[in-house]
Amino acid sequence: MKKINAVPVALGRDYPITIHDLGSHGEGVGRYEGFTVFVAGALPGETVRATILTLKKKYAVGDLREIITASPDRVTPPKGYYPEVGIYPLVTWDYEAQLRWKRERVAHLLTHIGGIDVAVEPVIGMADPFHYRNKIQVPVGLRDGRPAIGFYERQSHDIVDMTTCLLQDPATNRLLAAVRKIRAELSTEPYDERAGTGVLRHVVGRTGEGGKVMAILVTATRELPDKERWIERLREEVPELVSLYQNIQKERTNVILGKTMKHLWGHGVLAATIGDLRFALSPGSFFQVNPVQTRVLYETALQAARLTGQETVIDAYCGTGTISLFLARQAQRVIGVEKFAPAVKDARNNARLNGLDNASFIAGDTAEVLPQLAAQGVTPDVIVMDPARAGCDEKVLATVADWQPSRIVYVSCNPATLARDASYLATRGYAVTHVQPVDMFPHTTHIETVALLSRRTDEAHTG
């Protein structure tokens, strides 16, 4: 009879754990006597002491108690760091070490999932990897019976009362501080998630061109008490404010925004730019949260597309058309496809705003629309795909391969599904010829990658 090895750790006890990698949420992945233990806050190359909090057959989760041997790349984060919040798990790791790990991660997944052996370029990072997010969404509620505004504690719905966030634009941090101050002044009741009572449940803010701010106060009530005072005081405390909305979310749900949006004051839209392209953002518009790196990402995709002005380009999963408009300036024709109808409406408005009449947009499921375009005789020279984390539907990949475009530019937010999809396309005559990661979200494990797939008969002509 085969001997079954006993689990070498026990609940509630401390063990020295040697950390060798990071998990998908930025937690340290280590081993004790060959048994896998996840430890949040631990970095690769460290030995830590951790208390076992969760124990399964194949792994355990430990709570970091002591760093026995620190990584040479461990750094002290700036003031305003809240270690109990899980939104920036790598902030204690030197930024260059983060970029090296992300490059290695992309290469590893391409090889082990996709069987793709290709050189991965060094990750394009940021000169200043802090305060890059132009959007903030924070809950307002109770913590131990007291009002709290901030992000949730890791793996919980307990709000960490925060005064600032290291990743947020300074203007949205000022909005956070202003809401905290005004809520106290006006005694606006915070939302009690457990009881389903109270008024103010979320604050949403976004910065646009020139640092201007759009704010949304999400309430559980139809009316915002002291509405006029809220408007007056927010304008005083946040000089950058140009647009204010109230959103009503009465449902007991984790969905932040409800269906009803009331315009309280200021402009109806927020002006934003990426490079020299202009965008008008409504409260529900999707827009990349790191404008500096978004420009880098899109210019990287544009460079990979190698457009001459003669091409028909399809932008699958086009969202609000941001990549489409970058492409339209150098292509003969761009067709964007997006399932979410409000995003298509925004895309059309943004095309008009920028005077680009060679970009058109279709609302519909990409897996259904692409075969329809093929049946209509559309023959794209280049296809750009920017799917969600789940990657592309195989029906989409099959249609793309049937078209046989010279180049496929795959913009990925998940290197695992990029590797899977590239592996499928390899069976249909395409090879990954260039891979360029871009760090859109410093101090997190998220990785954006632009991959160029070239038709094998064209490989000799790729750059």
Q: Show binding-site residues.
A: 288, 317, 338, 386
- Phi and psi angles of residue 248, each rounded to the nearest 5 degrees, phi first: -105, 115
Pairing of strands 241-248, 213-219: parallel
Burial-class residue 113 by CB neighbours within 10 Å (0-12, 13-18, 19+).
middle
DSSP 186-203: HTPPBPBTTTTB-SEEEE
User: Which tokens belong to 320?
Assistant: 């609000």
* Residues whose CB falls within 8 Å of the CB of residue 411, separated by 6 or more in sequence, listed in order: 297, 301, 323, 384, 385, 386, 448, 449, 450
* Residues whose CB falls within 8 Å of the CB of residue 373, separated by 6 or more in sequence, listed in order: 314, 335, 337, 362
- Phi and psi angles of residue 422, each rounded to the nearest 5 degrees, phi first: -65, -35
Q: CA–CA separation, 433 vs 311, rounded Å?
A: 20
- Amino acid identity at 58: K
Q: CA–CA separation, 26 vs 11, rounded Å?
A: 23
Strand partners, 361: 336
- What number of other Cβ atoms are within 10 A of residue 254's Cβ? 8
| 392: annotated active-site residue | no
* Contact (Cβ atoms closer than 8 angstroms) between residue 17 and residue 39: yes
- Side by side, the strands of the sheet bearing 135-143 are 146-149, 135-143, 200-207, 213-219, 241-248, 260-266
Pairing of strands 28-32, 35-39: antiparallel
User: Which tokens belong to 244?
Assistant: 């204010």
User: Which tokens belong to 179?
Assistant: 């809401």
Known binding positions for S-adenosyl-L-methionine: 288, 317, 338, 386
Burial-class residue 445 by CB neighbours within 10 Å (0-12, 13-18, 19+).
middle
Query: Distance between terminal CA atoms of the chain?
Result: 59
Catalytic residue among 165, 318, 392, 413: 413
**Would you please indicate which residues are annotated as catalytic (active-site) residues?**
413
